[in-house]
Amino acid sequence: MQSELIKKYNRQVLIFTDLDGTLLDHYSYEHEDAKVCMERLMGHGIPIIPNTSKTFAELLELRKRLNLDGPFIVENGAAIFINKNFLPEKPKGAVWQDGFWVKSFSSKRNYWLGLIKKVAPEYGHLFESFVDMTIARIVELTGLTDEDAVLSSQRQFGEPLLWKGSEDELDKFILMLRRIGAHPVKGGRFLHIGGDCNKGIALAWLLREYQRQHKGVTISTIALGDGKNDVSMLEIADTAVRIASPVHEPPELERSLKLYTSNKLGPKGWTEILDQLIPESVFFSPSKNTDKTT
């Protein structure tokens, strides 16, 4: 449906959200506390766009559970999947794949596995690679169900590592990976090895494409996240929302304007801030016959 903001005010808001620890509870992966807010916003035609470290396979299932039907960004900005009816025409530089327009920003997983193999002789005892983990091990580390762990293992564009060494060793490891062309990103649980892409680059590309196909519409963006791998999109969005976490401090940002930090955790914090930023009253024009009597 067309956004009520476009119809009434020639404006639109695009909401980009991290999932684990933000829209989804850090421990239970549930979104129940954000459900009413999500339904309200989507009912007015405001897209909620997952921007996550999760895989394409995971998002196919999660979109059903979350009742989302718009685009989504996977594996820390490695690729954007855009449903056919989200934009009036084909996005520039995208290819049709698996029922979506796809814009990728990274080499495939096998390339990064090759780079990891190069550093394994010196650092291999300090990390576990996702590709070497059993489903049971992924379940143990993430708390996912067996079915969701299978989906999580189906990486396309990068490789998560579980770091076991010290912070000093990690800094040296990251430096070595950068020297050979990788761009490591620290997530909530894993170190993600991939290309020169991030959530912010993907957000900016989709915003430009949306603006190109909606000329004359004023578009603003809101990004919500709780971790270090969310910093790039939090810095670039018009409004940044840091969601409080039960396991770490909010990510540090350079910006100070239009920056919000929730008091509540996860999906409760998600609702807390979005109810402030986009109250229901914004969708209703003042009546010309307002009764001014008290």
**Domains within the chain, CATH numbers bracketed:** 7-105+217-283 (3.40.50.1000), 109-193 (3.30.980.20)
What pLDDT does 11 receive? Answer: 93
pLDDT tens-place string over residues 223-248: 999 999 999 999 999 999 999 999 99
| Pairing between β-strand 48-50 and β-strand 239-244 as defined by DSSP bridges | unpaired
| 29 contacts 143 by C-beta, under 8 angstroms | yes
| 196 contacts 57 by C-beta, under 8 angstroms | no
Does pTM top 0.85 for this prediction?
Answer: yes
Give the up-direction half-sphere exposure of residue 36: CA atoms within 13 A in the CB hemisphere.
7
Catalytic residue from among 18, 20, 226, 230: 18
pLDDT tens-place string over residues 109-131: 999 999 999 999 999 999 999 99
Report residue 9's pLDDT band, with 50, 70 and 90 as the boundaries.
confident
Report residue 294's pLDDT band, with 50, 70 and 90 as the boundaries.
very low
Report residue 2's pLDDT band, with 50, 70 and 90 as the boundaries.
low
What pLDDT does 1 receive? Answer: 56
What pLDDT does 256 receive? Answer: 96
pLDDT tens-place string over residues 50-73: 999 999 999 999 999 999 999 999
Measure the CA–CA gap between 138 and 90, rounded to whole angstroms: 37
Strand order in the sheet with 79-82: 72-74, 79-82, 100-104, 95-97
Active site residue 230: no
Average pLDDT of 135-146? 94
| Pairing between β-strand 218-225 and β-strand 239-244 as defined by DSSP bridges | parallel
